[in-house]
Structure 1
Amino acid sequence: LAPENRHPTQVEDVSDALQWLYDNAPRFDIDPQRIGGWGYSAGAHLILMAGLDRQQAPYLNGIVAGGTPADLTAWPNSPLVFGLIGEKLVDAEQTWREASPVNHVSEQSPPVFLYHGQWDKLVEPEQMTFMQEALEAKSVPVETYTVKFTGHIGAYLLAGGAERKAVAFLSQRNDNVAAAK
């Protein structure tokens, strides 16, 4: 955890966990083409960072990300981001950009489902828009869902509609894999 461990340690941990899952997929009878990732808030940040880059395995079939901090440069004075990076934006702008999921989208990135609380004051709803625009700019399939009348914690605890749509989104990705076989 930050600040004891700085970026990119957390992303490397998630990438290592995904690699372990792929390496052990046969042992647990898991189809590696049907593995998706899901995270909320810092977890959404990490699964996007680990899963958007499909230049090397492991690959995710789809990503669900809620309350996503997508562009860390939007918070130049954030003690949370400072704790993650260890330097101020003015002193380490490139690192702040590299730690932002919006800058890791490629044409090969997996489809993404984004959801966000309408009244989120911790991670503003514009962050979902930033991520959506970055995905659309690279023609990556993206769906969004706004959890009405909730903030950051409320969207995490009361996102039943978002969760149902996200499960359907991931199921569709798996159906596409099955149809291609």
Structure 2
Amino acid sequence: MTADNLDALREKLGLVHVYTGNGKGKTTAALGLAMRALEHGLNVSMVQFLKGGLYIGELLAPDRFSGKFSIEQFGKGSKDEPSYEDFSPDEADCERALRGLERAKALMAEGQTDVMILDEVNVALQLRHVSVAEVIELVKSKPANMELVLTGRYAPKEIMSIGDYVTEMKAHEHPYNKGILGRKGIDY
């Protein structure tokens, strides 16, 4: 893609996506959007709230896109945190979530990101690790030509009301109900 074509593509960015609901596929949809954007030459940054661990398959993707894609985790077991077996919420999760929000602001200010994904930010909101006002402020302060994706169950109506795309994933069937746990390469 030529620089002129990429500039024309960037001029059309700027919408807000909200992927929520109790069904599988919110992060997967965001990653699909990321892959599409990367293949068209756009830069993608993902900030993961409440997630951590090198076992998560998408952490391998940035190496394949030579500086065009970054994923940073702000959850237990992330590369900056000791490994955990217990992923139940604790007070330190609030601090990690606030650091994630600050990192998202910094990435926005740097001006190099075309598509920003705030993965599981809706769950961080539901757990009150960050406030709705803080996230709305972040959305309103994003660069005009940055596409922004917010994922996670429990998106509050205030967040859904500012989305240009609002998609609710609804579970009808899930392998977990049959005793099948998450599978590497499919669920993580």
Higher percent of residues as strand? 2
